[in-house]
Structure 1
């Protein structure tokens, strides 16, 4: 019973196998693209400490299953919210945006050309040229931050079409950013 009351307070679906209704409510944070990641991490650890299945070892099998499911939901929510691209995707899905339709619509031609040029520059830059890779990584990071900020502003303004376009840009740029990351010395 104790677990059920806690679950109800967290606004999660008590149906076995069902994910949390709202990841932001689960962590008791505002549903925004920009968030305090330290607060998210603190909430994550507090929830895990409170609902870890080992704490319910002496309870009924149903409460043990519920604790295990809640722990899985907490982990899934944390994985989603701890990365900006997946957080943006979650916010868009939560708002009812058809992400597949947005992907079919694509990004603008100007962005696509920039992305292609960056990809070509990346392929032409030797891995051993740390300075060139760092400069390219910094350029991509600046573009990513611009798309992220545009996505955050569009979400705040409920401009879902613009938010979806910026999210797609974030997806492209985050992959480029990772590929351009200078190799560890």
Structure 2
């Protein structure tokens, strides 16, 4: 195995944002079975260390590719772009306004202890997440618009935080 391979090469997948999760999962299981440290327990210590390094790399690559934000960040990194650079916080004004509305809706649902409002908000956030993922695939895979993709990655990351916050409010209201 070659430690210089990209995550996509490691799993034998095309380098693109649009990803076949079943193929990724299958390739992961196959590689994990091949490099799992338990298979090398009776081998010399050097081979055990290499197997552990491979298993670690396979796990890290899998976690990166299976998560939409991390996959976008990784693909942009391969293009020499740091999508999460702290100095680049540019976002479309319309997205910023929508973000404020979502935050207010979360606060309203929390204050009103309204599960119905929270359910509707959760549906809206997940739909927006899927739209941004589709946009990100278009920007990276087809248009090769990496500046636009960088902004979309930041938006997607924000959506993940909002969805997690909604989950926290669900927990608060259920307890």
TM-score normalised over the length of structure 2:
0.87
Over aligned residue pairs, what C-alpha RMSD do you find? 2.0
Residue 37 of structure 1 corresponds to: 21
Query: Kindly tell me: are residues 82 and 101 of structure 1, through their superposed partners in 2, closer, same or farther at Cα, counting changes over 3 Å?
Result: closer
Paired residues, number: 169
SS in 1 for 2:18: coil
Structure 2: how far apart are the matches of 1:173 and 1:183? 17
Report the more deviating stretch, 33-42 or 94-103. Answer: 94-103
- Alignment of 1:53 with 2:37, yes or no, is yes
Q: Which runs of 5+ in 2 are unaligned?
A: none
Structure with more relative contact order (C-alpha pairs < 8 Å, separation 6 or more) = 2
1:1-185 matches, within 5 Å, as: 7=1, 11-13=2-4, 21-101=5-85, 104-126=88-110, 128-156=113-141, 157-181=143-167, 183=170
Structure 2: how far apart are the matches of 1:99 and 1:85? 10
Moved over 6 A (4+): none
**1:5-59 deviations in whole A, cap 9, x for unaligned?**
xx1xxx324xxxxxxx311111111122221212211111111111111111222
For the Cα contact (< 8 Å) 2:118–2:166, is it kept in 1? yes
1:128 to partner: Cα distance: 4.0
Query: Kindly tell me: are residues 173 and 79 of structure 1, through their superposed partners in 2, closer, same or farther at Cα, counting changes over 3 Å?
Result: same
1:143 to partner: Cα distance: 1.6
**1:112-152 deviations in whole A, cap 9, x for unaligned?**
11101211110111384221111111111222122111111
TM-score normalised over the length of structure 1:
0.83
Q: Which runs of 5+ in 1 are unaligned?
A: 1-6, 14-20
SS in 1 for 2:170: coil
For the Cα contact (< 8 Å) 2:18–2:137, is it kept in 1? yes
